[in-house]
Structure 1
Amino acid sequence: MTNHLMNLRHVPDDEADEIRELFEAHDVPYYETPPSRWGISMGGFWVHDDDEARRARELLENYQRERWQRQREIYEQDLAAGRTGGIWYRLRQKPVKTIAACLAILVILALSIAPFLSL
């Protein structure tokens, strides 16, 4: 029976490449289905054997934990260096775009709740 190991929807290319390398380095016999262009099918990594699926899932769990730590460190470094941040960072970097997005959110919110306020 086939075992779905990981959904590939919204997975960055570098992460998918690293997972392919991980499976190939550990001789995991996997196959891959690509996600559809319109988001209907999810795509993913698959294996046929249940034992291989358990081994592959352990490898994926370790990889995901290490990747999360790496990405968190990069984010912390960028935050300390002032290359990324929250709303105030975005407001300083791109004020017009940020204010336009905030206004659009307020307009959508107002249009969404207006019918309930008039009851």
Structure 2
Amino acid sequence: MSVLIFRLNGVEDDEAADVRRLLDERGLTYHETSGGFLGFGIAGLWLLDASQKTTARALIDRYQEERSARLVAEYVTRWRAGQAETTLQRAIRQPLRTLFYLAGAAAVLYLVLVPFLTLGNQS
């Protein structure tokens, strides 16, 4: 029976390609599913042989630890060189997206607080 070994929802393309390559190099048999037309399904890599799960999991875990360390080191290097993008710089670069997110947050805050603010105003 197939066993889900790696979810692809929200995973960057290069990471997914690296995981596929690792599984191929080790000769682990798997198949890939997509999230479906509306994205409600499980996009992932499924091992065809459940007995290979511990080997595959260890391989993927080690890869993700190495990837995380590499990405952190790259970010620190960019940050020290003054090339890392800050939240303010991103907001300036994408003003419409920023305004949309702020309006959404304000709407949620309003909807949450209105019942409490109008509690004493009942007639």
Q: Which has the larger radius of gyration?
A: 2
> Could you tell me how far apart the structure 2 residues matched to 1:25 and 1:113 are?
55
2:85 is paired with a residue whose SS is: coil
Instruction: Give runs of aligned pairs for residues 39-118 of structure 1, distance below 5 A.
Output: 39-80=39-80, 81-86=82-87, 88-91=88-91, 93-94=92-93, 96-97=95-96, 100-101=99-100, 103-104=102-103, 105-118=105-118
Encode CA deviations 1:72-117: one digit per residue, 9 max, x unaligned.
122222322233123x4435x4384476256412343123311222
- 8 Å contact 1:79–1:85 — kept in the other structure? no
TM-score, normalization: structure 2? 0.79
SS where residue 4 of structure 2 aligns? strand
Give the 3-state SS of the residue equivalent to 2:86 in structure 1. coil
- Between the two proteins, what is the percent identity of the paired residues? 29
| Change beyond 3 A, Cα 1:103–1:27 | closer
Which sections of structure 2, spanning at least 5 residues, go unmatched?
none
Q: Report the Cα distance in structure 2 between the residues aligned to 1:102 and 1:16, rounded to whole angstroms.
A: 29
Matched positions, count:
117
TM-score of the pair, normalised by structure 1: 0.81
Report which stretch shifted further, 36-45 or 97-106: 97-106
SS at match of 2:5: strand
CA distance in 1, matches of 2:49, 2:101: 50
